[in-house]
A and B are shown apart, each in its own frame.
Chain A
Amino acid sequence: MELISSSIEYGESTSHQLQPAKTHPLNVRLLRSILDLVKDLHERQSFRASGVKAAN
């Protein structure tokens, strides 16, 4: 998750402009969605690991 977060921050920052050779900057929107996905996955696994079952 931290990897994705830092990638998002890197993509949002202007540091990638320091490399004129790179024509494909990071897709921040896609990274955000992946981060959400991983967070969701992490929460689900935490919930599953806690042994608590859903009410329904």
Chain B
Amino acid sequence: MNSITTRTVRLLATLAIASLFLIIQAHAFLSPLPRPRPFLVPTRSTTSRSSETDQGINDAAAAAEDESLLKSVTKKQLQELCQQTSLSDKGTKEVMLKRLRDHAADQAALEHQRSLERVKRVEEGSDDPKQRYEITNDYETDVDEEDEDAGFFYFNTPEAINVTKPAEKPRKKEPVTWHSSAISAPPPPTEPNEDGERVVQIYSTKDQNDMTGIAAAQPGQAALGGDALSNTVSSGGAQPWDMDQSATTSETSSKEMQEAKEKVIELVQALLAMSGAPAFVGFAEDLENLPAFEAPKEFVGFNPSQVPAEFLTASSQALRTGRGQALQDVLRQFEMQGIGQDGMAGDKVKAGGGHYREVCKVRAFLEGYRRAEVRRLARETTALMLDKLVQEGVEGLDFTLASMTRSSDDTSDHAGELNDSLLDYLNDAIRQQEKKVDQIVAAKLDKLSPGSAQNEYDPIEGLWNVTSEDGQRIESIDPNDKNVQRVLQEEFKKEEYMKAEMVSPTSDSVGDSAPEQLLLLLTLLRERIKAEAAFAPDEKGRNLRLLAYCLRVSTDSEREQLILKDAGNSLDVSNSELENSVCYAYGSATLDPTLTVLLAFHSVWIR
């Protein structure tokens, strides 16, 4: 906007100078000298194409114009014009006028010749591959042929040489703030070509075109992008629960997304208004659903500690919609708005900038809150399932899983939903638990090894009798010696103890300590949920689970009980279920992905 204002000032100055131009036409002065008039010098005489009658009329008119022109022009002006063009300034006014006209005609002819040569050069082309010309046909149709071929020559007024630019008033540096409505709309689309096609340039919204480097300088921004929980659906790739993605494209989901965006917009507006940024303060008055508050008078910056909790809880679900997609879209709009408000001021608050920086702060805050909310729900769901598994066993967990809703989104208000964030949370929890267990195991090993390390003195060493016979060194030990027996027995006991300590954690994967047991439970729960994600909660999934249990139990009687318990005593039910459950053809078994998952499912439960 500043550049436009500067350009306007320059344009006005140019116009002021241009008003002093003396423009001479080749045929006649169309106006008295003091009045500027564009001046055209056609190289071809129009008289050659006009009739004799017309020529006579034109000559008479030209003569009349000449007389009036010569009356209004002083001789000095004509002399100065002649001096400009290095012509002789001697003679009468008529002579000088004719001299100037001839000179203008010559120059216009040269210009015309140059333009013709240029067109010819373009048409012939050039050997230089860097030079590329394109001849457009619409130019010839739009522009009159005479005008195109005509050459032009302009005189400067003598005064224009000495004219100085009007001194520009020193502009006061005021903070430039514009309301959101001041931001101009994007340029209208380009006109379609002859075929009705319109060429547009597409920019991907995933591009990180942050040329300001502000986002890169934000602490924690990179970490935010790499977190699995903060990834949106679009960036997260294929997720186990994305089998419902077809449903998310429905009208309902788009409506939900729209509603969520409206809520998020209001929340972001409220948070930005709290910053006191001049362009964002007005947002505080437009709040509909959130409680009104008074925005600060000054630019105080965004302070997360001042955000009321009800603002966040009211928009918690909207923030999680589409795995944060709604939040991302809304924040992108506000970022662009902030950049527009900042203009050339950048982050300088005193110069009217700093809006984009505030939007970045709000983004970091809301992203963090969204992640915390997703984690909270996932943690509650995990705790619920672990409780079921511990208290009611696998059967209770199965029942719970069967009754839980499945979603590829995080929009649930309460815990108890199977979604991708739950798996992400479990992955994270298992990773942390593994670190803890590793530390415990390492501490155990350290306990054992220092004992042997400190005991560098080997008691058996002293039991050997070293004698020398015929120059040969003989080492012997007497097992009948009581001292030797005692030491050997002690060493044997110690060795047995060490073996028992070393073997026990590896022989049984279930550790004794609580962290190890929790790690095992979490791992099993994750695998169970993955298997649940792979199979729909229908007959197929149920029968696969039944088969896995049958493989797991040891005796046939238990298997029979299991089958009867699950399928029931009804012949029809069990038969139809078993028959309907399977659509695996042996011919395609080698590449059937369902069987691949089946194998994975089995292997999980066989372990």
- Decide if B551 is an interface residue (CB 8 Å cutoff): yes
Task: Say whether A45 faces chain B, with CB atoms less than 8 Å apart.
Answer: yes
Those of A10-54 within 8 Å (CB) of chain B = 10, 13, 15-16, 18-19, 22, 24, 26-27, 30-31, 33-34, 37-38, 41-42, 45-46, 48-49
- Decide if B559 touches A3 in the complex (CB within 8 Å): no
Cβ A34 vs Cβ B578 within 8 A: no
Q: Which B residues are CB-close (under 8 A) to A34?
A: 547, 550-551, 559
Interface contact A41-B589, CB-CB below 8 Å: no
Answer whether residue B595 sits at the interface, using C-beta atoms and an 8 A cutoff. Answer: yes
Known A2-B581, A24-B603; judge A42-B589 contact (CB<8 A). Answer: no
- A38 touches which of B578, B585, B589, B595 (Cβ 8 Å): B578
Complex interface residues of chain B between 562 and 607 (CB less than 8 A to chain A): 563-564, 569, 571, 574-575, 578-579, 581-582, 584-586, 589-591, 595-596, 598-600, 602-603, 606-607
Are B543 and A33 in contact, CB atoms less than 8 angstroms apart?
Answer: no
User: How far is B551's CA from A8's CA once the two chains are assembled, in angstroms?
Assistant: 12
By size class, the interface of chain A is 20 to 34
Q: Are A10 and B589 in contact, CB atoms less than 8 angstroms apart?
A: yes
Question: Residue B560 at the A interface, CB < 8 A?
Answer: yes
Contact B584 A37 (CB under 8 A): no
Q: Are A2 and B571 in contact (CB under 8 A)?
A: no
B574/A45 in contact, CB under 8 A: yes
From the candidates B560, B575, B586, name the one contacting A9 in the complex (CB within 8 A): B586
Query: Are A30 and B603 touching (Cβ within 8 A)?
Result: no
Name the one of A3, A26, A41 contacting B544, with C-beta atoms under 8 angstroms: A3
Task: Indicate if the CB atoms of A26 and B602 lie closer than 8 Å.
Answer: yes
> Could you tell me the distance in whole angstroms from the C-beta of B599 to the nearest C-beta in chain A?
6
B551:A30 contact, CB within 8 angstroms? yes
Could you say which residues of chain A place their CB within 8 Å of the CB of B556?
33, 37
Closest-CB distance, B534 to chain A (whole angstroms): 15
In the assembled complex, the CB of A9 is this many whole angstroms from the nearest CB of chain B, namely 5
Chain A, Cβ-Cβ closest to B577? A3
**Are the CB atoms of B547 and A2 closer together than 8 Å?**
no
Q: Which residues of B contact A31 (CB under 8 A)?
A: 551
Partner of B559, one of A18, A37, A42, A46: A37
Contact A15 B579 (CB under 8 A): no
Q: Is the CB of A3 within 8 A of B581?
A: yes
Q: B544, B569, B581, B586: which has the most chain A beta carbons within 10 Å?
A: B586
Q: Nearest-CB distance from A56 to chain B (Å)?
A: 22
Quick one: CB contact mask for B158-190 with A, threshold 8 Å, 1 for yes?
000000000000000000000000000000000
| Chain B residues, Cβ within 8 Å of A1 | 578-579
Cα A15 to Cα B587 in complex, Å, equals 11
Tell me whether B579 and A24 are in contact (CB under 8 A). Answer: no
Distance of A25 from chain B, by nearest CB (Å): 8
Interface residues of B in 323-347 (CB under 8 A from A): none
Query: How far in angstroms is the closest Cβ of chain A from B359?
Result: 46
In contact, A45 and B551 (Cβ under 8 angstroms)? no
- CA of A41 to CA of B579, assembled, Å: 15
Complex contacts, A6 vs chain B, CB 8 Å: 582, 584-586, 589, 595
Within 8 A of A (CB), among B538-558: 543-544, 547, 550-551, 556
Bound-state Cα–Cα, A19 to B602, Å: 14
* Residues from chain B with Cβ under 8 Å of A15 in the complex: 589-591, 595
Q: How far is the CA of A21 from the CA of B569 in the complex (A)?
A: 39
Report the separation of the CA atoms of residues A49 and B571 in the bound assembly, to the nearest whole angstrom. 7
Cα distance, A42 to B574, chains bound together (Å): 8
B603 touches A37 (CB 8 A): no
Q: Which residues of A contact B578 (CB under 8 A)?
A: 1-3, 38
Q: Which residue of chain A is the closest to B575 with respect to CB atoms?
A: A42
Closest chain-A Cβ to B317's Cβ sits at a distance in Å of: 39
- A10-B599 contact in complex given A4-B547, A34-B559, C-beta closer than 8 Å: yes
The smallest beta-carbon distance between A28 and chain B, in angstroms, is 11
Centre residue among B560, B598, B603 by max chain A CB count within 10 A = B603
Asked whether, in the complex, the Cβ of B599 is within 8 Å of the Cβ of A3, the reply is: no
Q: Which residue of B lies closest to A15 (CB)?
A: B590
Distance A37 CA – B564 CA, assembled complex (angstroms): 11
Residues B547 and A13 in contact, CB atoms below 8 Å apart = no
Q: Which residues of A contact B544 (CB under 8 A)?
A: 3
Of all chain B residues, which has the CB nearest A47?
Answer: B571
Chain B, 14-57, CB within 8 A of any chain A CB: none
Docked complex Cα distance between A28 and B564 (Å): 22
Residues on A with C-beta less than 8 A from B589 are: 6, 9-10, 13, 15
Q: Given the complex, which residues of A lie within 8 Å of B598, measured CB to CB? A: 7, 10
Whether A24 and B607, one on each chain, are in contact in the complex, defined by CB atoms closer than 8 angstroms, is yes
Instruction: Kindly report which residue of chain B lies nearest to residue A40, judged by CB atoms.
Output: B560
Query: For residue A10, which residues in chain B have a CB less than 8 angstroms away from its CB?
Result: 584, 586, 589, 595, 598-599
CB distance from A5 to the nearest CB of B (A): 8
**B550–A41 CB distance below 8 A:** no
| Residue of A6, A19, A24 with highest tally of chain B CB at under 10 A | A6
| 21 A–B pairs (Cβ distance < 8 Å), ordered by A | A2-B578, A2-B579, A2-B581, A3-B578, A3-B584, A6-B584, A6-B585, A6-B586, A6-B589, A7-B598, A7-B602, A13-B589, A18-B590, A24-B603, A24-B607, A26-B599, A33-B556, A34-B550, A38-B578, A42-B575, A46-B571
- Interface positions of B (Cβ within 8 A of A): 543-544, 547, 550-551, 556, 559-560, 563-564, 569, 571, 574-575, 578-579, 581-582, 584-586, 589-591, 595-596, 598-600, 602-603, 606-607
Q: Given A18-B590, A37-B559, output 10 extra A-B contacts at Cβ < 8 Å.
A: A1-B579, A6-B585, A6-B586, A10-B584, A10-B599, A15-B591, A22-B600, A30-B551, A37-B556, A37-B563
Q: 10 tightest A-B contacts by CB?
A: A2-B582, A15-B590, A6-B584, A45-B571, A3-B582, A49-B571, A24-B603, A9-B586, A34-B550, A1-B578
